[in-house]
Structure formats: structure tokens, C-alpha cells
DNA sequence: TTGAAAGCGCTAACAT
DNA sequence: ATGTTAGCGCTTTCAA
């Protein structure tokens, strides 16, 4: 007895029909009688037959598309809301989405693993771009929030320079005099662990916050706790800060929590502004003002790039495609 | 000129080597000289060659596994935290995860689509089980929070009866006299739209809340707004309710918001308890007490079932496997 | 170190 | 309504 898997051939033999008839029954094709269809389906079920998805996709005319999505963490609503948007955007095109997060490994490892199952990979890839492209083995990569610098890498970037300049201007108009920033710390583990590099958000902040405020920066972990902790350290070092920009909304929630704990009135004593535009921010007390990133636009741009690459008719190699999305302030009550 | 895709054959021809040599170069196998490897890699890049994932997976000895995950919505942190746990659980086994949500279509449609790309599908499947199993075409289904009643369907269920009885007892000990429930409304669209069926949570509530409280139930949408709205209606109809159980934490957040808006002190005037155990609940004011569902356990049980089915050595058909997880109260400050 | 032959398991034309 | 013949594009023996 062959010990391998049960194939279409086994079913055909058991049912006393041809392979083709089994295909017709399994896939609900029309050219088959009710009787034989049911016979085939029954014997397939009895044998526990399961079509090989690789074989059927290889033989089939229409290949189904799949895109890999690499996120920082599924525990940060920013990423999951982005994932939600991407699903919404690609579902109508019939694309599948394979999910992965940095919590499971190096970006390079994730890309290598996904490259065997996806036709394109989009998301956040910290690390060396050349290494990423090599790991992708020809599968196109679309990177978020960082420009593409090598062939095979494409990008959707965020224009924080424009956005943060406008944000700070408006905050000044609302009375802000002394800014502070709770910036993202270097990742503790994985790719590039411990190697801190100023984020684009910080760079934009330092360019526009004014000389007094540019130095009022602390780094903190990407979590609610991290934000709380960061605010405490910021206020200890810079008691005169009256307006704080926090790296993202999750951390800003922690900062607001800390402010409340310390008896600091928001926005009376301290204006707090996050970045992301999470809908959850509206449930805070007071509701969180934020520099909102249009996740739908990000998802659409990324999907657009993938579409161009995969279905654009142009044969590879393709020059890097880069699109830009500009965040916009969402004024609620914390600033 | 053939207008089809670029195959390994094209690369082999262009590089003047055999197909096999191209495979060796692309996959980083040892038995090849540096020179030819680089030659092959270069010409592959120039031609824009991308290996067919279907062909390579079909031919390869080691088949990679993929599990489909069907969730209600990626905009509800409960589901995304569950997804995070599932990723953590399956990543060490090298399984891929294909994501889908009810926002993109009927459970039956989603299952049909995923069945072509996944080796098993787990998650939430409202709708007729027989139809789901038929749509899965032999791919095993593992359903959450609903027992399996047909072959091909397996399940991880939640013991709300035990959990809610214990919860209500403890609430009584804390002074609760009159309970109310904000229950989930029927979905507005998709599968089974408009057809309301009492949830297991409601059934358990009605069994244990006592005759006076069993009737104090309103239904509301699965969203923050829905929860706010639900609490308003509950209090209008049953002003004497002093303790409210809300279908999930997301809705409970809305309820807490509404209470604050109406000047109702929590937990002084009204105890509020959610269900899920979201970490975000800790950031509310006051922090949300909740009947916590152990998402890690859910994910582990589901993955365990899939493992048994796929790698258990037993040939299909398999009898339905059902495992149980019991939610436990997580006392914070809202009750 | 490289090449030739033989599948992997299925679907798509074309018969019949 | 059913069977037959060719592939799909790659990896794996095995031989050179």
C-alpha cells in the first residue's frame, strides 16, 4: 500500500471513474450527472481525500494572488486597523492576505518565509533593504514609512515633515509654548535590537519645535506602559513642557493615564497629542487629539503598487515605486 | 515570443545552464560554484524571474502548512488579540496564517475562498455548519464558541454557563441586587442578517441572574457606539439596574462612556462588567472589570486540533474534536 | 560541480 | 456525460 497522501487518482479508482470526473465533481462543474457526482463526493469523503492546493493552483488557469503583510504587532491597534483596511482593499480583487508580525522573528526571516507563499509582501521591514530584497527571491516588497533605496523595494512613505510643522503651528496658536516629545526607543529584541536611530517623527519634531523644545525628548517603549513611563520621565526632566507629542496613540494613552495619576489636568496643565488617529482614542477621558495617519490611503497606495507590479503588464525588473501620504491633525479634546 | 511567464527554463537557457543549476542557485544549495551561482542569480534578476510558488511547493518534499483564520472584524481588539495569539502559537511550527473577516463576505464564501489556499480553517463561522463543511471541500474547520455538530467541523467552545454563574455570585457578594444585560444584536448584513438568536452569554445570564433580572436585557450593535446606546436604553427601561453585564469589552467601553456622559458614577451608582479581558480595558477610567476569555488558550486549543488533524497520523475522516475553555473574572475597578 | 530523467497532483483542452 | 491526452513549473533522484 502506498503510504503517501490520497490523490485524485485514488478517488477515481475507488469510484470507478476517471480523474477528470473526480475534478468535475469536486469543483462543482456542470458536465456531470447527479448520480456520479454524489458517488464521487461520497467516496472522496470516505477516503478523506483533500485536493492538493499546490497541484490545483499550478494546473488551473486562474492563479489566485496572495499578498504577505508584515506588521510590528497585532497587539497595537494601529497595525490591526491598517490590516483591516488592507483586507477591505484587496478582498474585492480576490487576493488573499498572509499575516506576520515582528513578534515572530526578524523581518528578513519573515520575508524569506512569506516569499514562498505570497506574490508580493507589504508592511514594515526594519533592517537592511538589500538583505530584505535578497530574502524575497524576486517577490516584490512594498515598505511602509521608509523610502525605497534598492531595486525590488517599493514604498509608501509618510510626510511627517509637512504634517508636524502644521501640527506644531496650530498647537502654538492654541497656546502651546514649550513642547516635549515621547519618542520611540530602539527595539529590545530582534533585528537591529538596541540600535537606536531617530525616527522620522523625531526628525520632523526637532526641525520645527524650536530650539528650546527640540531637546525635550525622552525615548520609551512602544506600549501603553512605555508611554506612561515616558511621560513621567519627560516631566521630571522638563517640568516646563506644556504640550507633549507622543510617538503613537497607544503610548499617548499611557501618557494620559500617567497624567491623570499625577494629578496633571489634560489639556489644562498639559496638552497631549498622539500619532495614528486610532478610533479608540475617542474613548479616552478626555478624548485624544492626534496626528491621524490615513490607514485606508496607506492600504490603497500599497495595493495600488502591488497591482501595478503584478498586473501592470510590464515585465520586471521594475523601477522602485514610491507614493506619499500626509498625516493630518485630528482635534479632539486632549490638545 | 511566448507571452507567458518567465520560467526556470528561460533562465536556464539565458544563462546557458540546466534547470537544475538554476534551482541550486535560487535556493542557495551547496553543490554549485560561486561563479555560476552569481551568473544565474544575475540573469534571473535581469529577466525578472520569479519562481512559481505553486510549482515549487508541489515538487518540494516538505510542504509548508497554512491555516486560514476567519474573524468577525479586525477593528475589534478581541479578534486581533486572538489573531496575535494564534500567530504566536503557530509560528514556531512554521505555519502560515491567512486572514479573513466577516466584513468581506459570508462565512461560506470566505471558507470557500480559503479552502483553496489553506490546510485548515479556524475561527468564527456564523451560518449553517453543513454548508460550511461543503464549502471547505475536505479542508477541516475549527469553529470557536459553538459546538461542532457535523463531521468535518471541530470546535473550541467557551463555558459561559459556569463562568457567568460564578461572576454573578461574586457580583452579588459585592452588593449587586439588580442585574441588566447589554446583549449582541443580530448582524445587520451578511449571513443570517437580521435573524436574532440569543447568544450563549445571554442564555447563561438568564439562567443565573434571577427572575427579576432575567428580563432586563437590551440588544445593541457590536461597537463602542452600540454599547453606549445600549446602556442608555437599558437604564431608561430598567432604572433600578445597579449592575450591568455587557456582551463584550468594546461595547462595555461605550457603556462606560455613556454612564459618564449621564453623570452616573461607576462603580458607585452602576457596576459595569464587560466580557473578553482586553488589555485596553485597563486604560479606561475607571479600569474595566471583565469576564476574561483566555485567548492564548483558545489559540492553543485550536492549533492543537489542527495539529492532530493534519499531523496526527490518523487518516481522515476524523470524528469531531471539541475542546472547552472557561472564562474567568478579571476584577479591575468598574465593578 | 553539473545535467538528464522522472515525477509532484491537478486541470484543460480535446476527444468520445 | 465521461474519458484521454497534455501539460502547469518546479524539485528530486540519479548519472556523468
Task: Show the 3-state SS of B142-165.
Answer: EEECCCCCCCCEEEEEECHHHHHH
How many Å does it take to go from CA B48 to C1' D16?
Answer: 32
Give chain B residues 37-96 with Cβ within 7 A of strand D: 49-52, 55-56, 58-62
Position B284 scores a pLDDT of 86
Q: What is the pLDDT of residue A192?
A: 64
Does A117 sit within 8 Å of B96, measured CB to CB? yes
Looking at residue A1, its pLDDT comes to: 41
What residues in B contact A51, CB-CB < 8 Å? 137-138
Taking the C1' atom of every nucleotide in all shown strands and the CA of A32, the nearest one is: D1
Scan for cell 490590516, then name that residue.
A83
Secondary-structure percent of chain B, ordered helix, strand, coil, rounded to 5: 45, 15, 40
Residues of B whose CB is below 8 A from A44: 138
Q: Which three cell numbers mark B128?
A: 449553517
Provide, as residue numbers in chain A, all residues whose Cβ is less than 8 Å from the Cβ of B285. 260, 285
Per residue, what are the HEC states of chain A? CCCCCCCHHHHHHHHCCCHHHHHHHHCCCCCCCHHHHHHHHHHHHHHCCCCCHHHHHHHCCCCCCEEEEEECCCCCHHHHHHHHHHHHHHHHHCCEEEEEEHHHCCHHHHHHHHHCCCCEEEECCCCCHHHHHHHCCCCCEEEECCCCCCCCEEEEEECHHHHHHHHHHHHHHCCCCCEEEEEECCCCCCCCCCCCCCCHHHHHHHHHCCHHHHCCEEEECCCHHHHHHHHHHHHHHCCCCCEEEECCHHHHHHHHHHHHHCCCCCCCCCEEEEEECCHHHHHCCCCCEEEECCHHHHHHHHHHHHHHHHHCCCCCCCCCCEEEECCEEECCCCC
pLDDT at B312: 81
User: Which are the contacts of B96, defined by CB distance < 8 A and separation ≥ 6?
Assistant: A98, A100, A113, A114, A117, B64, B65, B66, B67
Nucleotide nearest A23, CA–C1', reads C11
Q: Which nucleotide is nearest to A21 if distance is taken from CA to C1'?
A: D2
- Answer yes or no: do B88 and A73 touch at CB < 8 A: no
The β-bridge partners of B265 are: none
Please report, rounded to whole angstroms, the spatial distance between the CA atom of protein residue B18 and the C1' atom of nucleotide D15. 15
Would you say residue B315 has pLDDT above 80? no
pLDDT at position B21, please? 93
- The CA distance from B207 to the nearest CA of chain A, in Å, is 32
**Interatomic CA–C1' length for residue A112 and nucleotide D8, angstroms:** 24
pLDDT for position A58: 92
A8-59 shares its CATH topology with A66-158+295-327: no
Q: Which CATH superfamily is domain A66-158+295-327 in?
A: Response regulator (3.40.50.2300)
Put simply, the answer to whether A98 touches B97 (Cβ < 8 Å) is: yes
Q: How does residue B165 score in pLDDT terms, banded at 50, 70 and 90?
A: very high
Contact A74/B53, CB-based, under 8 Å?
no
Q: Closest nucleotide to residue A57 (Cα to C1')?
A: C10
CB contact (8 A) between residue B55 and residue A58: yes
pLDDT of residue A312: 82
Closest nucleotide to B12, Cα to C1':
C3
Cα nearest neighbour of A227 on chain B: B283
Q: Do A138 and B99 touch (CB under 8 A)?
A: no
User: What's the rounded Cα separation, in Å, for the pair B287 and B22?
Assistant: 60
Q: What is the pLDDT of residue B30?
A: 80
Does residue B208 register a pLDDT over 90? yes
Residue contact B83–A74, C-beta within 8 A = yes
- Are B58 and A54 an interchain contact pair (Cβ–Cβ within 8 Å)? yes
- Spanning CA of A11 to C1' of D3, the rounded length in angstroms is 15
For residue B271, which phi and psi values (nearest 5 degrees)? -85, 135
Within 10 Å of residue A109's Cβ, how many Cβ atoms? Answer: 15
pLDDT means over runs of 10, chain A (335 residues): 76 92 89 90 91 93 91 95 98 96 95 96 96 94 97 97 97 96 86 81 96 94 95 97 97 95 96 95 92 98 96 84 98 97
- CATH superfamily entry for domain A160-292: Response regulator (3.40.50.2300)
Q: Do B298 and B156 contact (CB within 8 A), yes or no? A: yes
- The arithmetic mean of pLDDT across residues B293-305, rounded, is 98
Return d(Cα B324, Cα B297) in angstroms, integer: 9
Can you give the pLDDT at residue B97?
98
A64 closest CB neighbour out of B74, B101, B117: B117
The closest CB to that of B74, out of A75, A80, A282, belongs to: A80
Least CB–CB distance from B139: residue in A50, A84, A104: A50
Q: Is the CB of A116 under 7 A from strand D?
A: no
Where on strand D do bases come within 7 A of a protein Cβ?
1-5, 7-13
CB contact under 8 A, A118 and B53: yes
User: What is the reported pLDDT for A67?
Assistant: 98
Q: Which is nearest to B37 in space by CA: B17, B8, B63?
A: B17
Yes or no, beta carbons of A48 and B99 under 8 Å apart: no
pLDDT at B232 over 70: yes
Nucleotide nearest to B18 (CA to C1'): C3
Residue B187, min C-alpha distance to chain A (Å): 18
From the candidate CATH numbers 3.10.20.740, 1.10.260.40, 3.40.50.1010, 3.90.1170.40, the one assigned to the domain spanning B8-59:
1.10.260.40
Which of A87, A260, A315 is nearest residue B285 as measured by Cβ atoms? Answer: A260
Average pLDDT over chain B reads 93
Of the candidates A50, A105, A260, the beta carbon closest to that of B138 is on A50
Sequence spans of domains, chain A: 8-59, 66-158+295-327, 160-292
Q: How many residues make up chain A in this entry?
A: 335
Q: Is pLDDT above 70 for B1?
A: no
Q: Which of A53, A254, A317 sits opposite B117 (nearest CB)?
A: A53
Using the CB atom, is residue A19 less than 7 Å from strand D? yes
Amino acid at each position: 500500500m502506498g503510504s503517501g497522501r490520497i490523490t485524485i487518482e485514488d478517488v477515481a479508482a475507488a469510484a470507478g471513474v476517471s480523474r477528470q470526473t473526480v475534478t468535475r465533481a469536486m469543483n462543482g462543474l456542470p458536465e456531470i450527472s447527479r448520480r456520479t457526482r454524489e458517488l464521487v463526493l461520497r467516496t472522496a469523503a470516505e477516503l478523506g481525500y483533500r485536493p492538493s492546493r499546490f497541484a490545483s493552483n499550478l494546473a488551473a488557469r486562474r492563479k489566485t494572488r496572495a499578498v504577505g503583510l508584515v506588521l510590528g504587532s497585532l497587539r497595537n491597534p494601529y497595525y490591526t486597523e491598517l490590516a483591516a483596511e488592507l483586507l477591505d482593499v484587496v478582498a474585492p480583487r480576490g487576493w488573499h492576505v498572509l499575516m506576520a508580525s515582528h513578534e515572530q522573528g526578524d523581518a528578513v526571516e519573515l520575508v524569506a518565509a512569506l516569499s514562498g507563499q505570497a506574490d508580493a509582501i507589504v508592511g514594515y521591514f526594519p533592517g537592511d533593504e538589500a538583505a530584505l530584497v535578497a530574502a524575497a527571491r524576486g517577490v516584490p516588497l512594498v515598505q511602509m514609512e521608509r523610502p525605497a533605496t534598492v531595486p525590488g523595494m517599493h514604498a509608501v512613505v509618510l510626510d511627517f515633515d509637512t504634517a508636524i510643522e502644521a501640527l506644531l503651528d496650530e498647537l502654538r496658536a492654541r497656546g502651546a509654548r514649550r513642547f516635549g516629545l515621547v519618542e520611540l526607543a530602539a527595539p529590545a529584541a530582534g533585528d537591529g535590537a538596541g540600535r537606536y536611530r531617530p525616527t522620522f517623527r523625531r526628525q520632523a519634531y526637532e526641525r520645527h519645535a524650536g530650539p528650546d523644545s527640540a531637546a525635550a525628548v525622552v525615548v520609551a517603549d512602544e506600549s501603553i506602559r512605555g508611554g506612561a513611563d515616558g511621560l513621567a520621565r519627560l516631566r521630571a526632566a522638563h517640568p516646563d513642557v506644556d504640550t507633549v507629542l507622543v510617538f503613537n496613540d497607544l503610548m499617548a494613552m499611557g501618557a494620559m493615564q500617567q497624567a491623570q495619576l499625577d494629578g496633571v489636568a489634560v489639556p489644562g496643565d498639559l496638552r497631549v497629542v498622539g500619532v495614528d488617529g486610532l478610533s479608540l482614542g475617542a474613548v479616552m477621558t478626555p478624548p485624544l487629539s492626534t496626528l491621524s495617519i490615513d490607514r485606508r490611503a496607506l492600504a490603497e497606495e500599497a495595493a495600488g503598487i502591488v497591482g501595478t507590479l503584478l498586473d501592470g503588464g510590464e515585465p520586471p525588473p521594475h523601477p522602485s515605486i514610491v507614493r506619499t501620504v500626509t498625516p493630518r491633525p485630528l482635534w479632539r479634546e486632549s490638545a
